[in-house]
């Protein structure tokens, strides 16, 4: 059995005082070894209160993010993910750029077998924008539950 200290000694945020980051470029997304690396399964992270800024107006944009991934040898450490997503709070980018950039950084860091991200953005200018990205076809035999976010209906 591996000592848990051995698994986390390289981490800079978990179990430490971490104040967050001013931008996604300086944020650190960390990973830990996957103790079930040989098993095909799905892990889901949900960020229902994600925020960024419109790059044109500077007004806040809000999204409900759902990240599904099939881990390989690594898992994304959840505190670092929270801090990484929080780094977008003062970052100006369009919905598509935020969603795809998060998915790509996550997939690269985790070296995921497969990943999909759904960015369910609340209306800007009266139009909700949903953005979806994935690394490719899902592995055969992977259970893919619905992301559970209904289309935006407003008050009607």
pLDDT digits (tens, 9 = 90+) for 79-93: 999 999 999 999 999
Neighbouring residues of 147: CB distance < 8 A, sequence distance ≥ 6 = 66, 68, 118
**Distance separating alpha carbons of residues 92 and 20, to the nearest angstrom:** 17
Catalytic (active site) residue 6: no
Task: Give the mean pLDDT of 110-117.
Answer: 98
- Annotated catalytic residue within 17, 61, 97, 146: 61
Task: Mention every residue, 6+ apart, whose C-beta is less than 8 A from residue 81.
Answer: 29, 45, 106
Q: For residue 98, indicate whether it is catalytic.
A: no
Q: Tell me the per-residue pLDDT of 29-82, one tens digit each, with 9 for 90 and over.
A: 999 999 999 999 999 999 999 999 999 999 999 999 999 999 999 999 999 999
Q: What is the dihedral of CA 55, 107, 24, 87, to 10 degrees?
A: 100
* Third-level CATH fold of 33-134: GTP Cyclohydrolase I, domain 2 (3.30.1130)
How far is the C-alpha of 85 from the C-alpha of 72, rounded, in Å?
A: 22
83 touches 11 (CB < 8 A)? no
- Of the candidates 3, 6, 17, 54, the residue annotated as catalytic is 54
Q: 0.85 cut: is pTM over it?
A: yes
């Amino acid at each position: 059995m591996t000592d848990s200290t051995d698994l986390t000694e390289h981490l800079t945020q978990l179990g430490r005082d971490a104040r967050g980051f001013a931008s996604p470029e300086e944020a650190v997304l960390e990973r830990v070894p996957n103790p079930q690396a040989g098993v095909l399964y799905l892990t889901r992270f949900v960020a229902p209160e994600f925020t960024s800024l419109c790059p044109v107006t500077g007004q806040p944009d809000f999204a409900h993010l759902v990240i599904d991934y099939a881990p390989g040898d690594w898992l994304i450490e959840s505190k670092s993910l929270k801090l990484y997503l929080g780094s977008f709070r003062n970052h100006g980018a369009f919905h598509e750029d935020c969603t795809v950039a998060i998915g790509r950084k996550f997939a690269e860091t985790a070296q995921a077998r497969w990943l999909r991200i759904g960015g369910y953005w609340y209306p800007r200018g009266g139009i909700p924008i949903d953005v979806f990205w994935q690394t490719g076809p899902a592995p055969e035999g992977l259970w893919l539950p619905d992301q559970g976010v209904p289309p935006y209906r407003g008050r009607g």
